[in-house]
Structure 1
C-alpha cells in the first residue's frame, strides 16, 4: 500500500473532505465510516483514505438530520419513552404556537405547558381571542420539525384547580406533514388565513378527568393539534412522549474533492434494515465544488441574478449573507453536476459510481425512512474506489440495432468514440455486459479498418476483447465491436467499460451512452423489443429426445432449457413432472429467475429418489409472472 502522508496532511489542513494530492496512475480507495475496521484488502498498490461519518460541514454542503453518529455506524435517533419531548421541540427547530386575533403566534404563555411546574398553567379562557368568533376554539399547534413515533400525550391541570378547570370537550389530531394529503384529512381548522388539516385521534365530549394519559396509534407524526372550546379550563403540563426511531432521518456527505478528474469505479456499502424500514442511498458527481446555483433578486421587476452586487458569482457563503428579501432561491447546477441517482438497491450492497465522464467531485446521501416505530435502517460504512488520471476524458458509445425481435440471435455493432487528453492513460481492453453469453464475437474495427483482437474474458454476463491500444494519437477514432447475442427483455442495457490490461488493478472506466457515430441513429446502449411477447415463457427444450436413465453413461440425464422474456424482475419458476393421468410424480426444480435463458436437469427419479417406470410423462414449467401464471408443457419419453 502506498503511503498517504500527503493526503493526511491535506486532511489536517482543511479538516474535512477536501483531498487534492494524488499520485500518478493511482488507485485510491475511500471509506466513510467503519473506522474500527482494518484497511480494505485490494490487490496491487493503492492508497487508502479513511473518512468519518461525523466530519460533516454545512459550508461544504454536508448535513446530518436526526441521526445517531458513531465511528462505526449511523442510524436514526431513538426516542427515550421516558423523556418529555415538548421542551425540546423548539431546540430541534420546531415550533409551538396558539391562535389569537393575529393568527398563530408563539406567545410567551405557552411556556407554562412545559415548565415542569404544576402550579402554573396555560389558560383556555381566550382573552386574546377576537370578538368575532362564535363559538371560539382555542388551538395549540405543535410542529415537530420531522417525523417521529409519538406514542403518548399526557395533559395535566394544576392540583389546585383539578376539579374546576379540567378540559371537558377537546379534540387532538395529528398529521405526517405530507403536503399531498392536504385537504383530504378528516379534521380541518381554518384560522386567520391559515388552514390546518389532521387525522382525528381523540374527539372527547364529556371528559371529567383532570389528568389525561392518552396513547396514540403507531404511525409517524410531524404535527399535533390540540383544540378545545374557549372556556374555564387550563393545562399545567402538555407532555409528548415518543418510543422508537425517528421516522425520517438523513445523511449528506460533504462534497468530496478527489484532487483531479478520475475514473469512477465501484461503490460498496455495509448496512442493514429492519422490516418496515428503508434506506435510500444515492450519489452525484460533478466538476466543481458546489452542485448548486444561488440567485439574488435585483429588484428590477422579476429579474434574478447569479452574481452579487460586487459582480462576483454567488456562493453559499455569499448567499447566506444576503438579506432575506434578496434571496431568490437555490437551483441545481445542471451544467457542471449530474442529478442525484435514483435510490440504489440497498440490500445488494454494491453498485458502480455514476458519472457521464471522469469527475473530480462526488457527493453521497442516505435517507432513512421507517413505517414502524421500532424499525430502522443503519449503515456501517460506504466505500468507493477511483483511478487517477482517468483512462480517457470521455468515452461515448451506442449500439446498433437498438430494437430487435425477442429471443432471436442478432448481429450487434457496439460503436465507441474515445476522447483522450494529455496524461489520460488510454486503453487496450473493452468490456461489454450482455444478458446471456454471446453467440459469437466476430470483428473489431478502428477508424473503419478491421483489426486483430483477442477474447480475454467471456461468460454468461459479459465479454472482454483486447484491441490495439487506444491513446492520445487515436483519440476521436471510431471503434466498432461486432458480436451476436439474444435479447429477452425490453430495455436491456449493454453497458460497457474500457481499461488498460497492463494496469489490471486500476478502475475500469464506465462507457457513457451517446452519439458515437453520426451515421447511426441509436445514441443509446439500451435495446428494445420490436414485439413484446405476452407469455413469459418463449421456448422450452428437452434433450435427449429419448431419455434412458439406466446408468450406462448415455442419455442418463434429461437436459431442460427454457427462455423467459420481458419479466420486470426475478419471479418464481417451478418445474414439475406428471404422468398422463395428471398425477404429480416429482418436483424437478423450484427457483426464481428473471428474463434470460436458464437450464435444469432431471435424472429420472421421483421425490423419494426412486426411478420412475418407463413411459410418457408431462414436464410442466410454470412461471408466476407479474400479472399471471404462464405455463409451458413438454412430453418426456423415458425408456430403458
Structure 2
C-alpha cells in the first residue's frame, strides 16, 4: 500500500512539474477562437460622452466598425455592398438624423425622420401646411449624420407610392421640386470643413431623385429644400461602398487566472489593395483587477445639492444612480497600466507579471485599401519567472569611445510561487569584453558565456529562485551613443523561449556616486561629446599615391561613428595636395 501511495505521489509531482514548465498560448481570432467572443473574459467597457456626462457601452467593436463576415476568421474595417442602402445606420448610437429648422413638435419630427430611413413606406417626413399647423416647406434642412465617415457614392429620395406602391397614401406628386444636396467628410465648419455641394436643381420634375455622388468619405449628407410647394420624403436612401476609414477591435478583459510572465505578442495581417495606404497596430495594457475604470458618486446634501465631495463605487452602483449623483469615470492608473504599443514578435512593454490583460487592434486605410487581421496571440508562463526583475548598471556616465568598466545588478522579487531564472540576454551596441566577477548575494558564482555579438551577449548560471536575491557581474565595453541602454531579458531555460523583461530601477548599492533615485539601465556621455558624430580617426599610412606603381597605392582608415541608432551609409571624399577631388 505504501509503495502504491509513493507511486501516486511521484506521478503527481511529475505531472505538477510538467504543468509548471508548460508554455501556454492564448489566441483570439482565427478558426478556433472566434473574434466575436472577445477572448472569453469580461466584456469591455467603452467610455463615451463627456467628462461630466459620461456614457458607457459594452462592446468589442466601438461604432460597430468591424467586419466579421468579409472573410471568416478574420477582422477588417466594415465594408459596404454598393447595392445596399445604409441610411438606417444613422439610427445607431453614433449617428443621428435631424431637421434643425423644423419648428413644430420635436417628437413628431424625430419620429417622421426615423421613419424616412428605416424602410417603412407607410409613414413619411412631411412638409405640408394645414390650417392647424402652417408648416413652411421652403428652406428646410434634413441632415443625416453617420457618426463616422463612410464611402458614399449615391443618394436617392422620393415620396410615398413611387418606388413602393402604397395606394392608401397616394402622394406620389408630393415630391421635392427644388433642392440642394451637400456632403461633408466631418462636422460642418466654415473655416476647416465647409460643406461640399453635390447637386442643385430648381426645376425638378422627377418624383424619384437619384444622384450619383463622387465617391469619397462622407459623414454628413445634407438636403435643403428650395421650394414652397408642399413635399414629403418616404425614404431617404444612401448607398456606400469600400471600407471604413478606421476600425477598432477591443478584446475582453482577459483573466489568466493568476500572475503570469507574458511572452512576445504576435499577430497575422494581410494588406488589401495598396500596402502603403493602410496600417494595422496593436496595443496592450495589463492590470491587477477586473476593471480598468474608477466610478465616482457625487455626495449630495439633504436638498440634493452637490458640495464637491465624491466617493468610489462599483459599476453596478454607478449605473443605478440618477444623473445628478453620477460622478466622473476615469482610468484606474493604480491597478492598470497605460496602453502600450506592441510590435509583432516583440515583448510587450506593459508590466507583464499581472493576472489581467486587454488588447486593442486599430486598422486605418482608405476606401479600397485596408488590412485584415487573422489572429492575435501570445505565450505565457504560470507561475511567472518573478514578480519583479529589477536591474541597473553602474556607472551611468562615461566618456564616449573609450573602453569602460560596468557593474550590472539584477534583483529578483517574489510575492508568491515563481520559476526563477538561469539565463540573461543583455542588449549592447558594441562587442562586450572581459565578462567577469559574477556574484549571487555577494558570493562568487560560476557562469557560462553563451554568445557575444555586436548587438549584445548572453550568459547562463545556476537557477535563481529566492526572493530578494541579487545577481551581479562586471564587463567592459566602449559606449558610442548618448543614452545607450543595456536592456535585458531573463529566461527560465526549462520553460522554453518565454522571457521576462528586466525593469530599470534600484537593484543594488554600488557605493559612492550611486544614487538610488538615478538607478537605470541607460548610460550617458559627457555633455561636450553630445552631438559629435565622428569620433577618433586613424589612418594606417599618411602617404597615399594611387598611381599604379604598387607603392602606397592603397590605405586604410578607421573611425568611430557616434550617436547612431541604426546602420547609416558613409561617404568619404579624397583630395590631392592642390585641392582636386
* TM-score interval (norm. to shorter): 0.7 to 0.9
- 1:337 Cα shift? 1.4
CA distance in 2, matches of 1:165, 1:477: 83
- 1:493 Cα shift? 3.0
State the match for 2:56 in structure 1. Answer: none
Structure 2 CA distance for partners of 1:59 and 1:426, relative to 1, 3 Å: closer
Q: Deviations over 1:397-449 (max 9, x none)?
A: 22334444544433333232221345322223222111233244343344445
Structure 2 CA distance for partners of 1:225 and 1:490, relative to 1, 3 Å: farther
State the match for 2:241 in structure 1. Answer: 243
**2:36 aligned counterpart, secondary structure:** coil
Structure 2 CA distance for partners of 1:29 and 1:112, relative to 1, 3 Å: closer
State the match for 2:84 in structure 1. Answer: 83
Q: Deviations over 1:205-228 (max 9, x none)?
A: 856464554444554333333344
State the match for 1:269 in structure 2. Answer: 267
- 1:374 Cα shift? 0.6
2:192 to 185, 194, 198: 185
Question: After the TM superposition, which of the residue ranges 444-453 and 245-254 deviates more from structure 2?
Answer: 444-453
Alignment partner of 1:72 is 2:49: no
Structure 2 CA distance for partners of 1:29 and 1:376, relative to 1, 3 Å: same
Structure 2 CA distance for partners of 1:142 and 1:169, relative to 1, 3 Å: closer
CA distance in 1, matches of 2:339, 2:148: 22
Q: Deviations over 1:447-475 (max 9, x none)?
A: 44554433223222221223454322xx3
Structure 2 CA distance for partners of 1:281 and 1:304, relative to 1, 3 Å: same
**1:270 aligned counterpart, secondary structure:** strand
CA distance in 2, matches of 1:581, 1:154: 80
Compare the two structures and name the one with the higher strand fraction. 1
Q: Deviations over 1:136-167 (max 9, x none)?
A: 84222222133322233234467699998545
- 1:533 Cα shift? 5.0
1:279–1:369 Cα contact (<8 Å) kept: yes
2:351 to 356, 369, 377: 356
CA distance in 1, matches of 2:154, 2:125: 20
Unmatched segments (≥5 aa) in structure 2: 1-17, 45-58, 163-169, 547-551
CA distance in 1, matches of 2:205, 2:401: 73
State the match for 2:519 in structure 1. Answer: 523
- 1:94 Cα shift? 2.4
2:250–2:361 Cα contact (<8 Å) kept: yes
CA distance in 2, matches of 1:293, 1:121: 45
State the match for 1:41 in structure 2. Answer: none
Structure 2 CA distance for partners of 1:381 and 1:117, relative to 1, 3 Å: closer
Alignment partner of 1:51 is 2:33: yes
CA distance in 2, matches of 1:384, 1:397: 25
State the match for 1:344 in structure 2. Answer: 342
Q: Deviations over 1:294-353 (max 9, x none)?
A: 22333242333222xxxxxx14x4544444554323222222211110x334xxx32213
2:219 to 218, 222, 227: 222
Structure 2 CA distance for partners of 1:357 and 1:77, relative to 1, 3 Å: closer
Structure 2 CA distance for partners of 1:257 and 1:59, relative to 1, 3 Å: closer
Alignment partner of 1:398 is 2:392: yes
CA distance in 2, matches of 1:53, 1:26: 25
1:25 to 21, 26, 50: 21
State the match for 2:112 in structure 1. Answer: 109
CA distance in 1, matches of 2:243, 2:72: 19
State the match for 2:147 in structure 1. Answer: 145
Structure 2 CA distance for partners of 1:335 and 1:111, relative to 1, 3 Å: closer
Pairing of 1:459-498 with structure 2 (within 5 A): 459-472=453-466, 475-498=467-490
CA distance in 2, matches of 1:96, 1:448: 73
CA distance in 2, matches of 1:156, 1:254: 44
2:41–2:255 Cα contact (<8 Å) kept: no
Q: Deviations over 1:55-106 (max 9, x none)?
A: 1279532612322226531111211111111134325752212223389766
Structure 2 CA distance for partners of 1:381 and 1:375, relative to 1, 3 Å: same
Question: After the TM superposition, which of the residue ranges 352-361 and 378-387 deviates more from structure 2?
Answer: 352-361
State the match for 2:309 in structure 1. Answer: 303
- 1:513 Cα shift? 1.6
CA distance in 2, matches of 1:443, 1:305: 54
State the match for 2:165 in structure 1. Answer: none
Structure 2 CA distance for partners of 1:259 and 1:506, relative to 1, 3 Å: farther
State the match for 1:597 in structure 2. Answer: none
**1:24 aligned counterpart, secondary structure:** helix
Structure 2 CA distance for partners of 1:421 and 1:533, relative to 1, 3 Å: closer
CA distance in 1, matches of 2:559, 2:178: 71
CA RMSD of aligned residues (A): 4.3
State the match for 1:444 in structure 2. Answer: 438
CA distance in 1, matches of 2:216, 2:34: 33
1:60 to 43, 52, 55: 43
2:386–2:420 Cα contact (<8 Å) kept: yes
CA distance in 2, matches of 1:72, 1:134: 53
- 1:379 Cα shift? 0.9
Question: After the TM superposition, which of the residue ranges 277-286 and 144-153 deviates more from structure 2?
Answer: 144-153
1:101–1:130 Cα contact (<8 Å) kept: no
2:152–2:239 Cα contact (<8 Å) kept: yes
2:496 to 496, 500, 505: 505
CA distance in 2, matches of 1:71, 1:490: 49
Structure 2 CA distance for partners of 1:413 and 1:154, relative to 1, 3 Å: farther
**1:63 aligned counterpart, secondary structure:** coil
CA distance in 2, matches of 1:171, 1:53: 39
Unmatched segments (≥5 aa) in structure 1: 1-21, 36-49, 188-198, 308-313, 550-554, 583-615, 619-640
